[in-house]
Amino acid sequence: MSEEKRTNIDTERIEKAVTEILEAIGEDTSREGIKGTPARVARMYGELTAGMEQNPKEHIKSVFTEDYNEIVLLRDIPFYSICEHHMMPFIGSAHVAYLPDGKVLGVSKLARIVDCFARRLQVQERLTDQIAGFIMDSLKPKGVAVVLEASHSCMTIRGIKKPGSAMVTSALRGIFIKDSRSRAEVLGLMHHGNNS
């Protein structure tokens, strides 16, 4: 998915807007290093928001019947998203787990689902909830647990300027809400070996 770009995007309009911003901050838009910037920024936004054109259901096609009744966890999935408040990136790792109920998902599909929801204008809380809700609704497992850890450039390089800080959000569904031992097990697996 790293090469996917949006097809339904008005790049010409973005280029005009970026040119206007550059001029508004006092930049010379005819300068050699800036001349191609509006087009590059338009392409960048197409790539960073590619998830807006994707249907996450595309990634639920690789479901297999399997008599497996223990936790399935994909940990440390790198992701990036764009904060909708300042349109600056937040970058982190996702940990996605589920307890199957007769069906398992192809392992790469968990990472693709994360990317599909991350590559949109987002807030981390909603992103976490969307991933968990989608897997719960689509796969119908006994439970889902999603934890996202991310660094937000809107607070590390501007505003309060606290580099090194990380925001952690979680979303639990099914057995991971109802049963404290299952919740402790899945959260322990997610953080096993992590220094955080």
For 50-97, what is each residue's pLDDT tens digit?
999 999 999 888 899 999 999 999 999 999 999 999 999 999 999 999
The average pLDDT across 125-138 equals 98
Q: What is the reported pLDDT for 3? A: 53
Is residue 86 flagged as an active site residue? yes
Catalytic residue among 12, 23, 58, 85: 85
Is residue 59 flagged as an active site residue? no
Sign of the C-alpha dihedral computed for residues 175, 180, 181 and 186 taken in this order: positive
Phi, psi of 32 (to 5 degrees): -55, -50
Burial of 148 (0-12, 13-18, 19+ CB in 10 A): buried
Of 21-25, 44-48, 106-110, 152-156, the range with the highest mean pLDDT is: 21-25
Catalytic residue among 4, 86, 185, 191: 86
Catalytic residue among 83, 95, 116, 149: 83
The average pLDDT across 151-167 equals 91
**Pair 76, 93: CB distance under 8 Å:** yes
Is residue 122 flagged as an active site residue? no
Domains and CATH numbers, the chain: 11-51 (1.10.286.10), 59-191 (3.30.1130.10)
Catalytic residue among 116, 122, 130, 152: 152
State how far the Cα of 124 lies from the Cα of 84, in Å rounded to an integer.
Answer: 10
Catalytic residue among 54, 124, 130, 149: 124
Nearest to 156 by CA among 64, 89, 99, 60: 89
Sorted by sequence, the CB contacts under 8 Å of residue 78 that are 6+ apart come out as: 91, 92, 93
What global pTM score does this model have? 0.91
**Pair 94, 59: CB distance under 8 Å:** no
Q: What is the reported pLDDT for 62? A: 84
Using a pLDDT cut of 90, give the percent of the chain over it.
85
Catalytic residue among 154, 185, 191, 192: 154
Helix, strand, coil fractions of the chain, as percent rounded to 5: 45, 25, 30
Quote the mean pLDDT of the chain: 93
Q: What is the reported pLDDT for 5? A: 66
Is residue 154 flagged as an active site residue? yes
Is residue 83 flagged as an active site residue? yes
Is residue 124 flagged as an active site residue? yes
Q: What is the reported pLDDT for 61? A: 86
